[in-house]
Structure 1
Amino acid sequence: MLRYPVICIDGPSGAGKGTAAWRLAQALGYRLLDSGALYRIVGLKAFTAGLITADAQHPIDEVALSKLTQSLQITFQLNNDSGRVDIIVNDETIGEQVRNETVGGYASQVAVFPQVRQALLKLQQDMATRSGLVADGRDMGTVVFPDADAKIFLTASARARAERRVIQLINAGQIADFEAILTKIKERDDRDENRTAAPSKPAEDALLIDSSTLNADVVYQKIKAHCQAKGIYF
């Protein structure tokens, strides 16, 4: 099967993956895959359908969750005017509600199920048969695209990521509780790193970048240099 160049950027939420992936996709003219949004979409739809609960304490029907996932048609479109990615689900544009902390918790709940991950695997891999792809996620370089042309694992301390999230919320005019956000980040990290299905970890051949004390431009230049070293030219 034909496959175009693939760049994988893995790592925890808040490390700067989204910003770096956007800039790379725009510079290269590649498609963008925000795999975290996929799980957020599934999580939101699962919560709406009553398949999961906010407290993550009740048993979850994996088969029903898998069927719901398979029913979703999801595409991403770069929006150069807003500098964001438009998410289209079953011909409906999904707004920024998929980006909030609550939906992030839903995403972490559904991501532990192998049947959900399998249902989304083909959708993700098919994207690389249409054009060059920048894939942003947690297991892109280890599971989804193990033969990717360039792999990066972008991380940052939980405190640094919580501080960034607080700034984002304040800038958006929302109330931000630093300690509550930090606790949620640590809980999500624990679930993502210790789940049985595709735990979040660097691929053996990934470039590891800790962005705790780095700005977005420095991170982007490091990733760009790595991609160029792997034969991807801008």
Structure 2
Amino acid sequence: MNKIVIAIDGYSGCGKSSTAKAVAKKLGYTYIDSGAMYRSATLHFLDHSVDIHNPQEVNAHLDQLNIRFKINPDTGYQETYLNDRNVEQDIRNMRVSNYVSEVSTIKAVREALVAQQQELGKEKGVVMDGRDIGTVVFPKAELKVFMTANLEVRALRRQKELEEKGQIVVLEDIIKNLADRDQTDSNRKESPLMKAEDAVEIDTSNLKFEEQVDKIVQVAQEVLGKIK
């Protein structure tokens, strides 16, 4: 059976990760959370007080990043492990969110993690989401999707997500965080957030979660139908 690489890019809070997970599950593909990889690197740097403006310090710690994904047998959900430690909850808090975009601009960090991501996608049959998946990581992906949504809608979604994890954050703080990340991600020198020319754009502002998942699955099936 033919398999493809599905690259999903877009702004923070568009539901990229949850959508990518659901798409992968429906297609029987492997989900690779590139955002979790950058968050894990950020967590590591914060926990070890790494000066991210010092190239030598950064490079010294890149070799210490062993990031893997494992399915929790109790929940069936994929979780992120950093050096054999489950960091799924830790990487989602605001402490990491406030620094992940800055860490993501570091060339050495991007090169190290992109190499890991490309290795994970060699066999195809993967769904990966992030900000440069269709433009840098998998420029030849058979299906590229670019997700977008209204800023306030994204902030409300992120607030709900944090509340479900027991974290209470003021909406205005989330809006500022997302706006700052949009600015940083879109204007960074290394692999800026941008829509690939051949990407299918999906505005999720007024879509239910199931609708955006089904839309991507439908397009993927159309692409698969054209592969001989």
TM score, norm. by length of structure 1: 0.89
Instruction: Tell me the distance in 2 between the aligned counterparts of 1:174 and 1:93.
Output: 19
For the pair 1:73 / 2:66, whether they are aligned, the reply is yes
Q: Which stretch of structure 1 is more off in the superposition, 149-158 or 63-72?
A: 63-72
Q: Which stretch of structure 1 is more off in the superposition, 106-115 or 224-233?
A: 224-233
Match of 1:29 in 2: 28
Match of 1:197 in 2: 190
Cα separation, partners in 2 of 1:151 and 1:94, compared to 1, 3 Å: same
State how many pairs are aligned: 225
TM score, norm. by length of structure 2: 0.91
The alpha-carbon deviation at position 135 of structure 1 amounts to 0.5
Match of 1:186 in 2: 179
Match of 1:38 in 2: 37
The alpha-carbon deviation at position 100 of structure 1 amounts to 1.5
How do 1:46-61 residues align onto structure 2 when only pairs under 5 Å count? 46-52=45-51, 60-61=53-54
Do the aligned residues in 1 keep the contact of 2:7 with 2:127 (CA within 8 Å)? yes
Do the aligned residues in 2 keep the contact of 1:12 with 1:189 (CA within 8 Å)? yes
The alpha-carbon deviation at position 205 of structure 1 amounts to 0.6
CA RMSD of superposed structures (Å): 2.0
Match of 2:207 in 1: 214
Do the aligned residues in 2 keep the contact of 1:39 with 1:107 (CA within 8 Å)? yes
The alpha-carbon deviation at position 28 of structure 1 amounts to 2.1
Query: Per-residue displacement from partner, 1:156-198 (whole Å, max 9, x unpaired)?
Result: 1211111112222333333220111111110111000000100
For the pair 1:159 / 2:158, whether they are aligned, the reply is no
Cα separation, partners in 2 of 1:41 and 1:49, compared to 1, 3 Å: same
Cα separation, partners in 2 of 1:28 and 1:71, compared to 1, 3 Å: same
Cα separation, partners in 2 of 1:64 and 1:213, compared to 1, 3 Å: same
- Percent identical among aligned pairs is 38
Instruction: Tell me the distance in 1 between the aligned counterparts of 2:186 and 2:47.
Output: 26
Q: Which stretch of structure 1 is more off in the superposition, 98-107 or 152-161?
A: 98-107
Match of 2:129 in 1: 136
How do 1:41-120 residues align onto structure 2 when only pairs under 5 Å count? 41-52=40-51, 60-79=53-72, 81-82=74-75, 84-120=77-113
Instruction: Tell me the distance in 2 between the aligned counterparts of 1:229 and 1:62.
Output: 45
Do the aligned residues in 1 keep the contact of 2:118 with 2:138 (CA within 8 Å)? yes
Instruction: Tell me the distance in 1 between the aligned counterparts of 2:73 and 2:155.
Output: 27
Match of 2:4 in 1: 5
Do the aligned residues in 2 keep the contact of 1:77 with 1:87 (CA within 8 Å)? yes
Instruction: Tell me the distance in 2 between the aligned counterparts of 1:4 and 1:67.
Output: 37
For the pair 1:226 / 2:219, whether they are aligned, the reply is yes
Query: Per-residue displacement from partner, 1:124-160 (whole Å, max 9, x unpaired)?
Result: 0011124511101110000000001111011112111
Match of 1:55 in 2: none
